[in-house]
Amino acid sequence: MTHPTRSRPALQHLARTVILYGLLVAFSALFLVPVLWMISASLQDQQGVFASPYAWIPASPRWDNYATVTTIFPFWRYLANTLLITLSVTAATLLSCSLVAYGFARLRFPGRDVLFALCLSTMMLPGQVTMIPLYVMFARLGWVDTFLPLIVPALFGTPFYIFLLRQFFLTIPQEYDEAALLDGASHLRIYWSIVMPLARPALATVALFTFVGAWNDFFGPLVYINSPQNATLTLGLNMLKAQITGTGLVEWQVLMAGALLVMLPNVAVFLLSQKHFVKGLAVGGLRG
Amino acid sequence: MITLLSSRHRRTLGGYAFIAPWLLGFLLLTLGPMLASVALSFSSWTMLSPPSWVGLVNFERIIADDPLFLRSLWNTAYYVVLAVPLTVGLGLVLALLLNQPLKGMTAFRTIFFLPSVTNMVAVSVLWLWVFNPEFGLLNRALALVGVEGPLWLQSEAWAKPSLVLMSLWGVGGTMMVFLAALQGIPTELYEAADLDGAGSYRKFLHVTLPMISPALFFSVVIGIIGSFQVFTQAFVMTGTAQPGSEGGPNNATLFYVLYLYKKAFQEFKMGYASALAWILFFVVLAFTMIQTRLARRWVHYEGGDR
Amino acid sequence: MSMRSPVGLASLLVCLHLQACTSGEPEAPAAVAIVYNCAANADEIRALEAEIPEFAARTGIRIILNPFTGQEKLYAMIAAGQAPDIFYTNTVIRDRFAAEGRLLDLREVARGDSFPERLLPGILQEGTSPDGGWYSLSNWSFTCGVYFDRKAFAEAGLRVPDSSWRWEDLRHMARSLTVDPDADGTPERYGIYIPAHFVEALELMNGAEIDRGALCARISDASAEVYQKYLALMDEKFMPDLRRMQALGMQPMQMLQTGRVAMLVEAVPHQGLFESVDVDLGIAPLPRFDGHTPRYFRSGSGGLSISSATKHPREAWQALKWIVGGASIYQPNPVLTDQDFVEGWEARYPRLLGSGFRSVWELSLRHPGGDPRFFVRFSSWTAPAILERLQPRLDQLWSRQISVAALRKALPEINQNVGRALRDALAQETLRPAFRAMIEQRLEEAEGGACD
């Protein structure tokens, strides 16, 4: 006797799959459309952006909008500034956070747990509370309009990454440490030669998140950087937007080209490092 | 010299040496400024002249005499209450959709996640154009079905919902957290539920939800803390040609941190802005504590309760 | 401070490694460097850059351009001790900075110099603060007028406007020029568009008295009348909805270009308009209001100031004179009497011949009403306190959420922080005596009920 129930689940399964794909495609379309819109706008000319009916693909695409943007928006300069700041911050963060996390994870000393709890609780502090005195301090030091206020704090660690790395270090078996200690190695050596190499995945995640965070930072540059030559990509884009929508002819197509240029490095970094992103969010979310 | 110290002292010294960067940073960049900020909130200071002590005047003015304070608080609360549930909800839905062993999931995941790692200023500029009442994507699309779209960012009623809609585009991060959580649910639980004869709805309610409750809690808390500090979008999108006009039509998008920024860096009322910052701190603290209290009820941790 | 050592050493190392300590200034030979905060306008910057080397070769003064997009950064730079040498100030901040001693009194560096004699008398007056000091020099001056599409007028069979036309004529023309071919209730072309910031120019024409440096916000009957008439234009659909126009992300002149409006009130002269709008343009002065002598808008309030912290005051003054009177991008400069402004512009843009440009310009010289703009009409110290409460109300007025009467009723509430703002200003210890006396006097007026 055949099992009549067997054909039903198969049909149900097919229906489910179709619906699933349908939903995914629909959502994807919704998510992609703004990007396509942006690309389309960046290739229009002055009349085209305001045209009705709108031509998604213009008859003669204005690739020169991208060239135009770079004359009023020093893309390469901003890219260099942003790269400098971001790489410095990433390196500083990796170094400081791993050192501190090692201390909290591997070493026992009085007050350790209290200090760690303190460290975690500062995660909850809105940055605005310390923003003004920090600004004043940096102004007194003469660091306003330089990159220093953006880079130097990274040398002192970030609670969130300290937490992440500490959790990870806790999962590394202590046998290696104990063997090295017996051999007379200092903690610094253990940190550098044993724990750090094993922590590469977590370090990669921290590096990635720090990189993206510093790259996209707007508030920091907004507050500390005054001259256009020292601006980062985010700040520069805001200046471009103010310039384009504020004075003279409003050229949306040029602004869209600028926005696209600023988005590209982010996309490139993400595509090159997808794996670590996913893993990192998993660690953060489950333990959070 | 180090060897003269007992091993216990050595360990203490070593421990503190390792955490020195954070400790130093805490004192210099957190505690110090926090104390200074407390002092500032009781002073009046424009940076061009020396500060002067005014006692509780700043707080009095904020609470009793500042309609923009109340407006910005209202705007921020409105945004939080609207954005967080929608973002968490959409993130969960997308994660559920992606959590299937089907082909092409990576591609879809990339599409959903990419917008959330792009630059907020670039995103704001893009959506500024999308929301344009006459030439933007949204209203052109609505016109196709014969609906006349509102003024979006320039409309007092629609300005905040516009920003919420835009924030949904960045739901990728939340989605990923849920995806990771979903993928961590052991399949035995589902098989056990199947044996008990549970349908997919009940399975969702009694297996999935409890198992991802830590991720839910995390997303909600991070979402609330983050949404309270909404700034960049409002600054970029509702600042018109004259700087100083950020805040939108009738201050509809004057969020708390934006208001703080204006007071501090446009009007240079450093004392007043510090007072505002402390009020924000206590509001966020209260919210987080409420959330943590409530969490004990519904967040389920693997391996027994707390 | 004790924190200087470890942090300072670290920063030094970082600096050397990253060369992050420089702010992008190239090495200078013997020339004196003067930093000029210019507008972030690409054309302007390019034109200045082209002429700066020649000026440097001639005078030994090298002007470094620092384009800026907002006033707030200027304040931040001054507070951080990095003030540029020459920067733009408007009336709101000029008096404040002058009161704190941050601006150089130009009378010191201009002593014995004949340059001030070349300036329009009103310009010197505008740059003078209550203590009698000369703290800013306007680099431009403009009026406003009604640009109109001649072809549209011809098609509608209308006579083109001239200086004798009245508001009723404007309404009549706007009605005829508004066309709605598909009769869907939304005109394809509106008769006129008047941006909200030019309403005050109309108030002047209607005889409103607008005080420079007024203590508080007032809406006289003349002003209220103008608001009603302005709103009526929108109600009758001769003018597009203001909020919608502001949201369009289009410059008003682009509306004229695309045929969306047939008349437009805009600044005269307007370089962008002259260059890129290829409609057959005419320019008319603002219409008169019955029973009132016309007083035409005249503005010169965006001025250049020299920082008192400048290391080279004489060279800064030389640079300032060159910017105002020498840099070709700003010539012919309407603040100077020894140039035929209209002729220079007609030479540059031949389309202006016979357009009405000359007449509009000369009328504004002959019957100047003053500069009525909001940030000019309130005193430096009360403007923020007033505008913070006034601007949202105006937004509501223009979007028809409140009536003119309701706005007038709300004035006491709008003005309520005037006294407090003055008291806060007095709390600054480093206020110069002349300004302190003035603020104290105004405080007395306010407390005596001047704003109720």
Residue C243 CB partners (closer than 8 Å, separation 6+): B151, B154, B155, B249, C398, C399
In the predicted model, what is the mean pLDDT of chain B?
86
| Mean pLDDT, range C377-390, rounded to an integer | 87
Band (pLDDT 50/70/90 cuts) for residue C30 is low
Structure confidence by residue, pLDDT tens digits, C103-143: 999 999 999 999 999 998 888 888 888 889 999 999 999 99
Q: What is the pLDDT of residue A149?
A: 94
> Does A88 reach chain C within 8 Å, measured CB to CB?
yes
Q: What is the pLDDT of residue C19?
A: 46
| Mean pLDDT, range C181-210, rounded to an integer | 90
Structure confidence by residue, pLDDT tens digits, C231-279: 999 999 999 988 888 777 778 888 898 889 999 999 999 988 898 888 9
Structure confidence by residue, pLDDT tens digits, B207-218: 888 888 888 888
Token reading at C59: 């005078």
Q: How far apart are CA A35 and CA C318, in angstroms?
A: 51
Check CB contact under 8 Å for B48 and C100.
yes
Task: Convert B74-96 to b/e letters by CB count within 10 Å (16 or more is b).
Answer: ebbbebbebbbebbbebbbebbb
| Mean pLDDT, range B54-74, rounded to an integer | 90
Is the peptide bond between B21 and the residue preceding it cis, with omega within 30 degrees of 0?
no
Nearest CA in chain A to B278: A129
Per the model's pLDDT, the better-predicted residue between A152 and B240 turns out to be A152
Q: How far apart are CA C259 and CA C268, in angstroms?
A: 20
Supply the DSSP symbol for B136.
Answer: S
The full set of domain ranges for chain B reads: 2-41, 59-298
Q: Is the dihedral of CA C53, C55, C59, C63 positive or negative?
A: negative
Check CB contact under 8 Å for C249 and A239.
no
- Name which of B10, C432, B30, C97 is nearest A158 in CA terms: B30
Q: What is the pLDDT of residue C28?
A: 46
Is B59-298 a domain of CATH 3.30.1370.110?
A: no
Q: Is C164 exposed, middle or buried (0-12, 13-18, 19+ CB in 10 A)?
A: exposed
Q: What is the pLDDT of residue A179?
A: 83
Q: Which domains does chain A have, with CATH numbers?
A: 4-64 (no CATH), 66-287 (1.10.3720.10)
**What SS3 class is residue C266?**
strand
Residues composing chain B: 306
A185 contacts on B by Cβ (under 8 Å) = none
Band (pLDDT 50/70/90 cuts) for residue C194 is very high
Work out the minimum CA distance from C221 to partner chain A, whole angstroms: 33
Token reading at C17: 């490694």
Contact A155, C14 (CB under 8 A): no
**To 10 degrees, what angle do helices C167-177 and C221-235 make?**
10
Residue A130 CB partners (closer than 8 Å, separation 6+): B29, B30, B33, B34, B37
> Does C114 reach chain A within 8 Å, measured CB to CB?
no
- Name which of C191, C50, B125 is nearest A250 in CA terms: B125
Q: What is the pLDDT of residue B249?
A: 78
Residue C69 CB partners (closer than 8 Å, separation 6+): A239, A242, A243, A246, B243, C40
Token reading at A180: 């090295």
Task: Convert C201-215 to b/e letters by CB count within 10 Å (16 or more is b).
Answer: bbbbbbbbebeebbb
Token reading at C394: 């105006």
Nearest CA in chain C to B134: C248
The vertex-A43 CA angle with A41 and A44, nearest 5°, equals 70
Band (pLDDT 50/70/90 cuts) for residue C60 is very high
Check CB contact under 8 Å for B222 and A109.
no
Q: What is the pLDDT of residue A14?
A: 87
| Mean pLDDT, range B101-122, rounded to an integer | 88
Contact C275, C288 (CB under 8 A): no
> Does B112 reach chain C within 8 Å, measured CB to CB?
no
Contact C286, C205 (CB under 8 A): yes
Q: Is the dihedral of CA B201, B204, B206, B207 positive or negative?
A: positive
Q: What is the pLDDT of residue A248?
A: 56
Band (pLDDT 50/70/90 cuts) for residue B305 is very low
Band (pLDDT 50/70/90 cuts) for residue C21 is very low
Q: Identify the chains in contact with A, defined as 3+ C-beta pairs within 8 A.
A: B, C
pLDDT above 50 for B155: yes
Structure confidence by residue, pLDDT tens digits, A209-258: 899 889 999 989 988 888 778 889 998 888 888 777 765 566 888 889 98
- Name which of C310, C298, C408 is nearest C362 in CA terms: C298
C72 contacts on B by Cβ (under 8 Å) = 243-244, 265-266
Residue type, C199: V
User: CA end-to-end span of chain C, whole Å?
Assistant: 51
Work out the minimum CA distance from A2 to partner chain B, whole angstroms: 23
Residue type, B9: H
Task: Convert B263-302 to b/e letters by CB count within 10 Å (16 or more is b).
Answer: bbbbbbbbbbbbbbbbbbbebbeebeeeeeeebeeebeee
Q: What is the pLDDT of residue C320?
A: 95
Query: Among A78-82, A209-213, A225-229, B87-91, where is mean pLDDT lowest?
Result: A225-229
The vertex-C402 CA angle with C396 and C408, nearest 5°, equals 100
Band (pLDDT 50/70/90 cuts) for residue C410 is very high
Q: Identify the chains in contact with B, defined as 3+ C-beta pairs within 8 A.
A: A, C
C355: how many CB neighbours lie within 10 A of its CB? 22
Q: What is the pLDDT of residue C380?
A: 85
Backbone angles phi, psi at B53, to 5 degrees: -75, 130
| Mean pLDDT, range C392-419, rounded to an integer | 91
CA of A241: how far to CAs of A69, A238, B124, C64, C444, in Å?
11, 5, 10, 24, 44
Q: What is the pLDDT of residue C4?
A: 40
CA of B292: how far to CAs of B216, B218, B230, B286, C74, in Å?
12, 10, 22, 10, 44
Q: How far apart are CA A155 and CA A92, in angstroms?
A: 5
Band (pLDDT 50/70/90 cuts) for residue A284 is low
Q: Which domains does chain C have, with CATH numbers?
A: 21-141+300-339 (3.40.190.10), 143-297+375-416 (3.40.190.10)
pLDDT above 80 for C344: yes
Q: What is the pLDDT of residue A246?
A: 63
The vertex-A206 CA angle with A200 and A209, nearest 5°, equals 140
Q: What is the pLDDT of residue B5?
A: 66
Structure confidence by residue, pLDDT tens digits, B44-62: 888 777 888 888 999 999 9
pLDDT above 50 for C2: no
Structure confidence by residue, pLDDT tens digits, B251-300: 889 999 999 988 888 888 889 999 999 999 888 888 888 888 887 777 76
Q: What is the pLDDT of residue B301?
A: 63
pLDDT above 90 for A53: no
Residue B261 CB partners (closer than 8 Å, separation 6+): B231, B235
Name the residue facing B231 among A156, A219, A256 (closest C-beta): A219
Check CB contact under 8 Å for A28 and B265.
no
Band (pLDDT 50/70/90 cuts) for residue C6 is very low
Q: How far apart are CA C79 and CA C100, in angstroms?
A: 11
Q: How far apart are CA A206 and CA B29, in angstroms?
A: 21
Backbone angles phi, psi at B44, to 5 degrees: -125, 125
C80 contacts on A by Cβ (under 8 Å) = 139, 142, 144-145, 226
Structure confidence by residue, pLDDT tens digits, A158-192: 898 998 888 888 888 888 778 888 887 788 888 88
Token reading at B190: 């589902």
pLDDT above 90 for C385: no
Token reading at B26: 């805490």
**Token pair 């893009």 is at which residue?**
B126
Token reading at B163: 């920003």
Residue C32 CB partners (closer than 8 Å, separation 6+): C60, C61, C62, C312, C315
Band (pLDDT 50/70/90 cuts) for residue B2 is low
Per the model's pLDDT, the better-predicted residue between C91 and A255 turns out to be A255
Tell me the whole-structure pTM to 2 decimals.
Answer: 0.84
**What SS3 class is residue C22?**
coil
Work out the minimum CA distance from B135 to partner chain A, whole angstroms: 6
In the predicted model, what is the mean pLDDT of chain C?
87
Contact A119, B21 (CB under 8 A): no
CB–CB contacts below 8 A, B to C: 70
B243 contacts on C by Cβ (under 8 Å) = 69-72
Contact A152, C7 (CB under 8 A): yes
**Token pair 């500083």 is at which residue?**
A92
A94: how many CB neighbours lie within 10 A of its CB? 19
Residue A92 CB partners (closer than 8 Å, separation 6+): A151, A154, A155
Q: Where are the alpha helices (DSSP H) in chain B?
A: 7-25, 32-41, 57-65, 67-98, 105-117, 120-130, 137-144, 159-169, 172-183, 187-195, 200-203, 209-228, 232-238, 256-261, 270-298
Band (pLDDT 50/70/90 cuts) for residue A278 is low
ipTM of predicted assembly, 2 dp = 0.82
Nearest CA in chain C to B149: C244
Q: How far apart are CA C433 and CA A246, in angstroms?
A: 38
pLDDT above 60 for B150: yes
Q: DSSP string spanning C192-216? A: EE--GGGHHHHHHHTT----TTBSS
In the predicted model, what is the mean pLDDT of chain A?
84
| Mean pLDDT, range A275-288, rounded to an integer | 57
Work out the minimum CA distance from A31 to partner chain C, whole angstroms: 24
Structure confidence by residue, pLDDT tens digits, A108-146: 888 888 898 888 888 878 888 888 889 888 988 889 889
pLDDT above 70 for C40: yes
